Structure 1
Amino acid sequence: MDIPVPSDQPMPSDAPPVVPAATVVVFRRDPAGGPPQLLMLQRANEMRFAGGATVFPGGRVDPADRDLARRISPDEPEEIAASRIAAIRETLEEAGLLLATRAQVTVTDAARARAMLLGGATLGQVLDHFGWDLAPETLMLYAHWCPLWANAFDTRFFVHDLGTGAVDVTVDATENTRLFWASAAQALAMAERGDISVIFPTRRNLERLARFATFEDALADIAAHPVVRIHPCREMRNDGEWIVIPEGLGYPIVGEPRATARRG
């Protein structure tokens, strides 16, 4: 298995072409006092990648995300800064939730901003229209996954805390068909029952997230495990072929039989 490299380093020169992407695990406090709840969405069955699967909000990094990242975070590595912007934009598009703003955003204004994005505006244009400023640094880099095959998604995972989480979220009715809040353990139980379907990276991250009683626990885990690019790979074992990731990166379970692992 290849030695993982830091997330801010480029892909190996001999690696296949990949698609930069970003996703964000949005935390909120459980009103009943239980473990943190996470925002999850079910992708439309018609989607080519992970159709019907339950995932965290996110999507590919667009050129306009890079432009805005250079404007807002000129001193940060562009790949990471642009991924933060993409995660913020995709969450607004997919859930109607605008993260990491310095000012309070009303439900009405969030809906208007979302409509602008879906109508073709860039996030930078939306911010300028409303006079909003972003604090993208409040999205903490948590993980980085990239299968080594052509046109795979090279995805950076972030975490963000909403606190009390008294927000409205609504599906976009095109790319996703359902939005819900659940703890990581609840989501895993739903997957075990067959109520939802999760792809290999989502399942491994839910298993990791299920260990955290608070958002601060997640931050401590990040500090203990520097983010590197994880390349899932195949490994032959006595009981057949497995999909595996390296050990020592914070994941309590690092493999699953290929026969049961959904990859996209």
Structure 2
Amino acid sequence: MNDRTSPDSPRPSIPAATVVVFRNAPEGGPPQILMVTRARQMSFAGGAAVFPGGRIDDADFALADALETGLERSEAASRVAAVRETLEETGLVIGVREPVGADDARKARAMLLESGVLAPVLDTMGWTLDLDALVAFARWHPKNERIPRIFDTRFYLADLGTGAVEIEIDATENTRLFWTTAADALAAADRGDIMIIFPTRRNLERLARFADFDAARADAAAHPVRTITPWTEERDGRPWIVIPADCGYPVDGEPLDRAARG
């Protein structure tokens, strides 16, 4: 049976952006990615380990409108939000053309935390956005009424290369920042050391196949982004939550009673 149950909700979806930030592993081996642990009191994914990101603000659209990117408006605003949220949550500067030192990154983050708007930070620091540095990877849009907030989230990849960077937690929404390989994050979740929600698990499984950032970027190019809306169906007499099998993901679902959904 395949009932593809995914009831539309009367609540509006919230546009959001998230970034998988890569760095070279300090001692070699698979690349590391940056994850944050959400504060438990957060209504969405409270206590879960996720990638940096958040909702797209009106100011992100305004900045996107002022740029000549060649991107569709919502896509440009989503990438602006990804840059802003990464700086706000982690202290990392991604998606700008100029080289950035640790002192400038700290200064920029302090300005952003005070104003909440990226444009004046860029002006003050003399930075220009390079939105092509963010690689479109996926888009997830669950539509289940049991989820507290429904986010339409675009996922991007960004590469730090050497990994000689400083990060610092934004304690307003998150409690921990950590670098890990995708495989190690999955193992930690299986041990119960961290909690991951269904979309994060599927994306970690996909990311665990990549030997480096170039491999991830090639995979993204080979699988043009399609909006993924999970549904439930019966498999072997059990309800499963599943996704399309042809979007680049090595695992297309899991039993519904094992899935964390936000």
TM range (shorter): over 0.9
Matches of 1:67 and 1:106, distance apart in 2: 27
Deviation at 1:72, TM superposition (A): 2.1
Contact in 1 for aligned 2:79/2:131 (Cα 8 Å): yes
Structure 2 portions without partners, runs of 5+: none
What residue number does 1:6 align with?
A: none
Q: How does 1:47-126 map to 2 (within 5 A)?
A: 47-126=42-121
- Once superposed, what is the RMSD of the aligned Cα atoms? 1.9
Contact in 1 for aligned 2:241/2:256 (Cα 8 Å): yes
Identity among equivalent pairs (%)? 58
Deviation at 1:16, TM superposition (A): 5.8
Q: Which moved more, 1:43-52 or 1:102-111?
A: 102-111
Distance 1:40 1:156, change over 3 A: same
Q: Does 1:133 align with 2:131?
A: no
TM-score, L = length of structure 2: 0.93
Deviation at 1:14, TM superposition (A): 9.8
- Which secondary structure does the structure 2 equivalent of 1:112 belong to? helix
Deviation at 1:224, TM superposition (A): 1.4
Distance 1:121 1:19, change over 3 A: closer
- Which secondary structure does the structure 1 equivalent of 2:77 belong to? helix
- 1:125 corresponds to which letter in structure 2? P
Matches of 2:172 and 2:242, distance apart in 1: 32
Distance 1:212 1:52, change over 3 A: same
Q: Which moved more, 1:24-33 or 1:149-158?
A: 149-158
Contact in 2 for aligned 1:18/1:149 (Cα 8 Å): no
* Partner residue of 1:42 out of 37, 57, 67: 37
TM-score, L = length of structure 1: 0.92
For residues 235-258 of structure 1, give each alpha carbon's deviation from its aligned partner in whole angstroms, at most 9, with x where no partner exists.
Answer: 123332111000011100010111
Q: Does 1:24 align with 2:22?
A: no
Matches of 1:258 and 1:78, distance apart in 2: 36
Number of aligned residues: 255
* Partner residue of 1:227 out of 225, 228, 251: 225
- Which secondary structure does the structure 1 equivalent of 2:194 belong to? coil
Q: Does 1:143 align with 2:138?
A: yes
Matches of 1:139 and 1:74, distance apart in 2: 12
- Which secondary structure does the structure 1 equivalent of 2:19 belong to? strand
- 2:79 corresponds to which letter in structure 1? R
For residues 126-166 of structure 1, give each alpha carbon's deviation from its aligned partner in whole angstroms, at most 9, with x where no partner exists.
Answer: 10111111111100000000012465100000001111111
Distance 1:34 1:255, change over 3 A: same
Matches of 2:183 and 2:130, distance apart in 1: 30
Q: Which moved more, 1:238-247 or 1:79-88?
A: 238-247
- 1:127 corresponds to which letter in structure 2? L
Deviation at 1:25, TM superposition (A): 0.3
What residue number does 2:170 align with?
A: 172
Contact in 2 for aligned 1:145/1:156 (Cα 8 Å): yes
Matches of 1:198 and 1:149, distance apart in 2: 18
- 1:95 corresponds to which letter in structure 2? T
Distance 1:69 1:153, change over 3 A: same
* Partner residue of 2:187 out of 179, 186, 189: 189
What residue number does 1:199 align with?
A: 197
